A and B are shown apart, each in its own frame.
Chain A
Amino acid sequence: MLPTLIALPVVAAFIVALLARLAPGRTRLPGAVMALASLGGFALLAATLPTILDGESVEGAWTWVEALDWPLAFRLDGLSILFAMLITGIGTLIGWYGRAYMGDDARNARFFATLLLFQAGMLIAVTADSFAVLFVGWELTSITSFLLIGFKHEDAEARRSAQHALFITSAGGLAMLGGLILLGVGTDTWRFSDLTRADVEALDAAVASWALALILLGALTKSAQFPFHGWLPGAMAAPTPVSAYLHSATMVKLGVYLVARFQPALGGLELWGTVLPVVGGFTMVLGAVLSVRERDLKRVLAYSTVSALGWMILLAGLGTSDALKALGVTVLAHGAYKAAMFMTAGTIDHEAGTRDRLALGGLRRSMPLLGLSAGVAAVSMAGLPPALGFLSKETTLAAGFEEDAAWLLAIAVASMGALTLVSAWAAGVAPFLGGTTEAANHAHEGPPGLWMPVALLAVFGVAAGVAGPALLPPLLDQVVTASYGKPYETHLTFFTGFDAIFLSSALAIGGGLLLVRFHRAMPGIPWLRTSTPAVVQAILDGLARLAELVERVTQHGSLPVYTATAIVVAVVPLLAVTAYAGPLANLEVEADPLVAAMAAVVGIGAFAAARSRTRIRSVAALGAAGFGITLIFLYFGAPDLAMTQALVETLTVILFIFAFRFLPIRRERDDLRRHYAALAIAGTTGLATTGLTLLLANRDGGDHLRQFFEATSYPGARGTNVVNTILVDFRALDTLGEISVLAVAALGILALLRLTGRAASRVERIDNPRVLRTAARAVLPLLVVFAFFLFLRGHDQPGGGFVAGLVAAAGVALYAMAYNARVARRLLRVPPRSLMAAGLLVAIAAAGFGTWEHPLLTGQWTVLTLPADTELKLGTPLLFDFGVFLVVLGVASALATALLEEQR
């Protein structure tokens, strides 16, 4: 049941996204999908409710991060189902309302898909049993709410508000993660259902305090408690369905949920009992005061939400069974009436074009049904009997009178009650009364989607109030049991007698009714500006400036400086390593004159290349260095390398002919500082690499790899050329990767040259020397034969696919230079790209051959005995090598022909 519950909104989000593709014109569908998906979740929860009411819980756990003992664990108990039913129930109405409110906005798909993902995040968070799962859901709501608040991203205010909300909630989320980890590591418990108060009491006091403080930071930021409350009014920049959803039943309630969820285990800590009631109580009163001062209907409701959240945090912090019972009632009551009130404000804005409550009046004439619904919803918000809001205030007062600071609490709750009554009046009743203002002139009743959800919630608020004492206790029992940690039996009554509770309640209502007369004057009252948005904005601006500074310093845009940075970072540690190395005891200083000559060729070549000022000299010097290296390879027993190097040197000449047909080799601009800096870095690199070479050459032993390959090459891979068996058998997967890279690089080059789409019909004059053409024609067959010879003997003697491919490609390149690229390509019969593809396919086929009984790339051999006692070994490594041959031939000839063909 739990996976279905969470999968529903996720799948629905994808359906919405898919619909946007398939039926972009159906802009009303996304809202309907959200309503139906939410309704499905609600129905699922309603079906599970009897089980929960019996005192059982629904659990499910799947393996996730086994090493950390983090299961994907979910648990649905009384507390969870209360929140989950609010999330899905109000989600249904928001889908319906949003469908009408958003109209034919082209971005509806994105809007509702994000809302659905947000809903998924909420459901994950409130059904999570493992800390890690909770965090994932928690962060999902932070990110999606950022996207929702900033939905009107063309509006700078919306972007700022979204950033503000993200900054506060994600910083809080990060703190909470720290707290959860501290708690988890300290108690060795990563699940809510396993965590007990005894576990927490056994903790080191400092660890417990830090864990708690960090977790509370998460809860208080999410629930917009003072001094983090600034993001919530700012979040009103979002479209109203978002405000109605996030600030009634979901996002901001998550902090309250977290506190209630942790109450059984952490409630005993002293910090808990002081911070939460004080912060909650203060926020409760502050929010109520700020609420009545606002003119914008949504901001009135936003601050009243801040106040209500403070109220709930206060109750959760008190942590007595009565307080938690009151919390259950309040969560339910607030979710219902606040969603209704927000939707009312949205509909008024939608129809009358303004949310300024001082400019609104007389809307009852044009919008009677909305007015009636809003009025009834306001009864619950105002805390008047017989609505659920009244019950929530009564139970709160009752819980408060059990505390030591009873009268302080009573005064706080009563003044909050009085002010909230004013807010309810101002937002839900006043716009409909009085004379018709200019703004109200154009208004008319919207479609049912704009007022029916309000009506339903309003009816719910009163009905749940009337029937509450009879119906709610079984659910509240489970809520309290889950959040108090002990079984509890609830009673709800409207009237407890003429006692202190009655008196406080009467004071709240009476005071409220008295204040309502002046509600239009309240926005004018000067009041201390609580400017946390300004503080947060300053922090955000500072961060942006810091980022800009870092960017300016690190992303300066000079490629040589980037290169220098990378080189210095790589070379300095090397230098340090070589400096600390011991004496080079295993090395002998010899000076074979032949080797010295080769070394001199390489060194002089490199030096000349670095100093050269002309193109031809650069290429010649580079060639000399390459040639010297070829000789070194040959001299020290690496014929395969020597052949490959020699061929690549030849093909590189083609590259340079191409490169320097267009690129100048300039004399460096006379910048001495740059010159010396480059010299210094180059010198350091030279020293470090020299040192490293000696250090590594000096190492002793450790050639077990070599011994393995030499011992198994012939018996295991049936080849005597160890280098080749490594390439095509032992490490064939690497080779497969390498030829793929090669093919990709070649395709990239072809794309860069934009050769692919060019018509090949251009006639090119052949004006190359006749001698060259004749030579090419004579040499080509030799090269082809030589390539096949090298390929066939490659497994046992120097040669193989790489070298053979290069030799054959050299023939193609020769033709391209002697004639032109088209003639050269015609030699191949097929386009070079097809050769590459065919080569990769052949290599993959060879790799996959036999996978039905052996692991990938296991060599399969068959030996044919030919006449005259000749044995012919055929095997998949040879086939693989043929793939390598084809890829190398394709790549090299593609490059040679394409580059030569490119015109200035």
Chain B
Amino acid sequence: MEVLLAPVVGLLFACAVYLLLQRSLGHVIIGLALLSNAANLFIFVASGLGDGAAPIVDPLTKMTPEGSADPVPQALILTAIVIGFGVLAFFITLAYRVYRITGTDDLEALPAADRPSAEEDGQLA
């Protein structure tokens, strides 16, 4: 089934990257959300898919079910989902601040606000 899902991972990454490369902040936000989804699915698929049983140990046999999923990537992804949410929230707030301060959502217009003015430049030199 990995063969079926690998192109989906690729497509997720491709769409995320396409959005990240756009000029408007709104697109970049959507791209970032897609990117963390893409990364999570990537870890999940790349580590191999089981037959659908959860990695829960049977207290009697002290074994996980035959063909159960690998718990290690799941532990990684679980925290990654929550952290990705935190990062996305942070980025959105940052974008909000940037938009409120600069009045533009065009990333190519931001450098003008970023660079020190000619006067400040003179003081630095």
Give the B-binding residues of A (Cβ under 8 A). Answer: 556-560, 563-564, 567, 584, 587-592, 595-596, 599, 602-603, 606-607, 609-610, 612, 615, 618, 622, 625-626, 629, 632-633, 635-641, 644-645, 648, 651-652, 655-656, 658-660, 662-666, 668-669, 674, 677-679, 681-683, 685-694, 696-698, 703, 705-706, 709-711, 713-715, 720-723, 726-727, 731, 734-735, 738, 741-742, 745-746, 748-749, 752-753, 796-798, 802, 806, 888, 891-892, 895, 899, 902
Given A595-B1, A622-B30, A664-B105, also A696-B55 (CB < 8 A) = no
Q: Which residues of B18-62 have CB atoms within 8 Å of chain A's CB atoms?
A: 18-27, 29-31, 33-34, 37-38, 40-42, 44-59, 62
Residue of chain B at shortest CB distance from A710: B64
Smallest beta-carbon distance B5→chain A, Å: 6
Query: Is residue B118 within 8 Å, beta carbon to beta carbon, of the partner chain?
Result: no
Task: Give A123 to B14 CA distance when docked, in angstroms.
Answer: 60
Given A633-B44, A710-B71, A722-B71, also A665-B27 (CB < 8 A) = yes
- Asked if residues B37 and A629 are in contact (CB atoms below 8 Å), the reply is yes
- Over the window 65-96 of chain B, the binary record of Cβ atoms lying under 8 Å from chain A Cβ atoms (1 yes, 0 no) is 00011111011011101111111111011111
Smallest beta-carbon distance A751→chain B, Å: 9
Query: Count the B residues whose beta carbon is within 8 Å of the partner chain — how many?
Result: 91
A residues less than 8 Å from B34 (CB atoms): 606, 609-610, 622, 625
- Listed A/B pairs (24) with beta-carbon separation below 8 Å: A559-B108, A588-B3, A606-B15, A606-B16, A610-B19, A641-B44, A641-B78, A644-B81, A648-B84, A658-B92, A666-B24, A666-B105, A668-B23, A687-B10, A689-B42, A691-B10, A693-B2, A698-B2, A705-B72, A710-B55, A722-B64, A802-B82, A888-B82, A892-B85
- Asked if residues A696 and B82 are in contact (CB atoms below 8 Å), the reply is no
B residues less than 8 Å from A660 (CB atoms): 26
Q: A590-B3, A690-B7, A693-B10 are in contact. List 18 more A-B contacts (CB 8 A).
A: A589-B4, A592-B1, A595-B5, A602-B41, A637-B68, A663-B25, A665-B27, A668-B24, A677-B21, A678-B21, A694-B2, A710-B63, A713-B71, A720-B57, A738-B83, A741-B86, A742-B83, A745-B90
- Asked if residues A731 and B75 are in contact (CB atoms below 8 Å), the reply is yes
B residues less than 8 Å from A686 (CB atoms): 10-11, 13-14, 17
Give the A-binding residues of B (Cβ under 8 A). Answer: 1-27, 29-31, 33-34, 37-38, 40-42, 44-59, 62-64, 68-72, 74-75, 77-79, 81-90, 92-97, 99-100, 105, 107-108, 110-111, 114-115
Smallest beta-carbon distance B3→chain A, Å: 5
Task: Give A618 to B55 CA distance when docked, in angstroms.
Answer: 35
- Asked if residues B15 and A706 are in contact (CB atoms below 8 Å), the reply is no
- Asked if residues A722 and B108 are in contact (CB atoms below 8 Å), the reply is no
Residue of chain B at shortest CB distance from A709: B71
Smallest beta-carbon distance B82→chain A, Å: 6
Smallest beta-carbon distance A148→chain B, Å: 22
- Asked if residues B95 and A663 are in contact (CB atoms below 8 Å), the reply is yes
Residue of chain B at shortest CB distance from A671: B23
B residues less than 8 Å from A723 (CB atoms): 55, 71, 74-75, 78
- Asked if residues B64 and A689 are in contact (CB atoms below 8 Å), the reply is no
B residues less than 8 Å from A710 (CB atoms): 55, 57, 63-64, 71
Given A641-B77, A666-B26, A802-B82, also A714-B62 (CB < 8 A) = yes
Residue of chain B at shortest CB distance from A741: B83
- Asked if residues A655 and B51 are in contact (CB atoms below 8 Å), the reply is no
Task: Give A644 to B7 CA distance when docked, in angstroms.
Answer: 24
- Asked if residues B48 and A697 are in contact (CB atoms below 8 Å), the reply is yes
B residues less than 8 Å from A891 (CB atoms): 86
- Asked if residues A559 and B110 are in contact (CB atoms below 8 Å), the reply is yes
Nearest first, the 9 A-B pairs at minimum CB distance are A557-B111, A686-B14, A690-B10, A637-B69, A722-B71, A696-B46, A682-B18, A610-B15, A726-B75
- Asked if residues B78 and A802 are in contact (CB atoms below 8 Å), the reply is yes
- Asked if residues B27 and A689 are in contact (CB atoms below 8 Å), the reply is no
- Asked if residues B6 and A697 are in contact (CB atoms below 8 Å), the reply is yes
Smallest beta-carbon distance B88→chain A, Å: 6
- Asked if residues A714 and B59 are in contact (CB atoms below 8 Å), the reply is yes
Smallest beta-carbon distance A189→chain B, Å: 47
Residue of chain A at shortest CB distance from B94: A752
A residues less than 8 Å from B59 (CB atoms): 714, 720
Smallest beta-carbon distance B18→chain A, Å: 4
Task: Give A587 to B87 CA distance when docked, in angstroms.
Answer: 35
Given A694-B2, A723-B71, also A629-B24 (CB < 8 A) = no
Task: Give A902 to B100 CA distance when docked, in angstroms.
Answer: 12
- Asked if residues A689 and B15 are in contact (CB atoms below 8 Å), the reply is no
Smallest beta-carbon distance B101→chain A, Å: 11
Smallest beta-carbon distance A510→chain B, Å: 53
- Asked if residues A899 and B93 are in contact (CB atoms below 8 Å), the reply is yes
Given A560-B108, A641-B74, A709-B71, also A685-B46 (CB < 8 A) = no
- Asked if residues A663 and B105 are in contact (CB atoms below 8 Å), the reply is yes
- Asked if residues A637 and B5 are in contact (CB atoms below 8 Å), the reply is no
Residue of chain B at shortest CB distance from A626: B37
Smallest beta-carbon distance B52→chain A, Å: 5
B residues less than 8 Å from A691 (CB atoms): 10
Q: Among the listed B4, B72, B95, which residue makes an inter-chain contact with A591, where contact means beta carbons less than 8 Å apart? A: B4
